[in-house]
A and B are shown apart, each in its own frame.
Chain A
């Protein structure tokens, strides 16, 4: 029986999510035994032709060329999994969606006329059908292994979509919002990090994006009314690595529109 094939694709990103595969130091050779790693340029020169059983797609769509390329990737992929905040929500570079991108190119490049870029940074699902989204900035490597295992066994991957708060409670981590008055995105953020930041005495800043059915407005109201945050701070709070995720975008825009 031929092994299922795995392809890894990069769009606009930091490479961190695909690096998670190479960071599976104990599991990497077993993964390579279970699947045929057919296209993974960060790790191998070898490129085998598609179609591929599973494609992992990292990064967001930010250029005209990438907008075309993702269509080709989709056409060659049996199952397409978007990995990380860039692929699922546009990433930190989606901050351009709220600004004038020309202002950005002028700020970074001395000869901005050489730069070809779109006005927006968008998620993979804005362009093609995505079969599964794995959240996080970066993703959690154990979740990745679990999703791959499920897919290879023909199961639909099922990961919890509750909030970070529940992880804190289970781990016995003291609430940073209640006890220290810190603006914590834990109540509206997707689980997956095992409540990492609160366990390091800091407020969650939303790496895993919005949870299923988040009540962002209630959280934001508490931050402004009880913790004394200004509108500008609220906008920044919701605008980091998952700024383009609908729930976070809507909430930040609510504050922006209030201002203007």
Chain B
């Protein structure tokens, strides 16, 4: 009997700490484990007893890559508990802030974390030696995405300007207009990105997925919508926990989420594009046609194309919001505490981010529940790996390892969010 193990002890180019272990016995796959060893930080635990107004600032610290997502989900959940709904310019400005985070996060992933896999480089910095213009384009796009978050949020990482009911301060209109000019350049670069990414070499690998995303009748989803799936699910966010449950497995400090107790599902850009294609802007759909984007794409390696399309959309949407922007009468609407439960789901760059809080009449948090996108994708990542390894098992170990890492990076896993990280181990016997 011949056993061979391929191990990645510390997965690179993902956010957080994880490991991978693959065991092959007599040329047959024995197991694939994605292990997450990111130290737990117990946010839900210490949120108890904090003031409801602190949730956006505290939960932002779950993730330095997508703090806006945490601020949006927590603010909307608290506002739901208190019976407040934002509309008009404040609602639009929250969408704008999210556009900024999508751009910077998607570009970070496409150019710095994922593209090096397709082109065979250890990192974007190595890649820059041969593809300087490509890397510089990515850095420029990322900078402008960050500039949106910087202007409206105060800083790129852990913005300080988001509060319940809106913002602390609305920057002057001319600052937004200056940004819109830069965004037009970035939109062109995003189109170039999609065309460039379409020319990459994609492994021939498709799976039958259950995609899950928010959906809104009037817009591509950011801050609100019903939870829908490619299998016909159509759920109010308040009922999310009746169908989606988290499980805890020994090898991981992250919880795994399943639909209806057993269904593995897929969240993130590929799910959103597949489920909300018609809500994308005209330009985005034209580019999708140009690059022969296949509706209902089920090759996870093509998630880089979904990110490119969403980046075009986010630029388009940000420009639209700024063009039509009217200054709100006040930077925020008052939110008074009301004893009860509030939940919200928003679309983080990596997929649905669900928050639920119970607060008392003083606004003190009694209970908190947070379901990040990577917890939801963890099972589908493992499932992909399982089937993908079977397909590439005859390859040399170093190639299997790299391609498996790439397959994990398809999901842009944020282990800090899900409280996990990855290490790879392949055992062959």
Contacts and interface: CB of A to CB of B under 8 A. Distances in A.
A12 B41 contact: yes
B45 A25 contact: no
Interface in B130-189: 132, 135-136, 139-140, 142-143, 146, 154-158, 160-161, 163, 168-169
A150 B136 CA distance: 26
Interface in A71-119: 91-93, 95-96, 99, 101, 103-105, 107-111, 114-115, 117
Interface stretch (B121-129, B275-283, B297-305): B121-129
A14 interface: yes
B12 A41 contact: yes
B57 A240 contact: yes
Given A93-B42, A200-B161, A44 B126 contact: yes
Interface in A1-29: 10-20, 22-23, 25-26, 28-29
A111 B122 CA distance: 37
Interface string B56-88: 011001111101000000000000000000000
B125 A37 contact: yes
Q: How many of chain A's residues touch chain B, expressed as a range?
A: 35 or more
Contact of A115 (B40, B124, B155): B40
B89 interface: no
Contacts of A111: 248, 250
Nearest to B150: A23
A42 B25 CA distance: 32
Nearest to A100: B45
Interface in A53-80: 62-63, 65-66
Interface stretch (B13-21, B191-199, B225-233): B13-21
A84 B13 CA distance: 21
Contacts of B62: 14
B58 A240 contact: yes
Given A16-B67, A46-B122, A197 B160 contact: yes
B101 interface: no
A44 B123 contact: yes
A202 B108 contact: no
Contacts of B37: 65
B39 interface: yes
Interface string B1-18: 000000000111111110
Given A108-B42, A108-B45, A115-B40, A45 B246 contact: no
A15 B37 CA distance: 14
A138 B45 contact: no
A111 B57 CA distance: 28
Contact of A14 (B61, B123, B142, B160): B61
B44 interface: yes
Given A44-B122, A44-B125, A205-B57, A107 B250 contact: no
Given A14-B61, A15-B65, A200-B161, A43 B42 contact: no
A117 B46 contact: no
B107 to A, nearest CB: 10
A43 B124 contact: yes
Q: Count chain B CB atoms within 10 A of each CB in A138, A197, A240 and give the residue with the most.
A: A138
A105 B40 contact: yes
A20 B416 contact: no
B63 A110 contact: no
Contacts of A101: 42
Nearest to A27: B139
B224 interface: no
Contacts of A138: 64, 155, 157-158
A110 B248 contact: yes
A19 B63 CA distance: 10
Contacts of B11: 41
A236 interface: yes
A15 B158 contact: no
A28 B139 contact: yes
B405 interface: yes
A99 B48 CA distance: 11
A248 interface: no
B270 interface: no
Given A29-B125, A110-B248, A23 B12 contact: no
Interface of A: 10-20, 22-23, 25-26, 28-29, 32, 37, 40-47, 62-63, 65-66, 91-93, 95-96, 99, 101, 103-105, 107-111, 114-115, 117, 121, 137-138, 193, 196-197, 200-202, 205, 207, 236, 240-241
5 contacts: A16-B63, A46-B122, A92-B58, A92-B61, A105-B40
Given A25-B143, A95-B46, 6 more contacts: A25-B146, A29-B125, A93-B46, A105-B45, A110-B248, A200-B160
Q: Which 4 A-B pairs have the closest CB atoms?
A: A16-B64, A104-B45, A44-B123, A104-B42
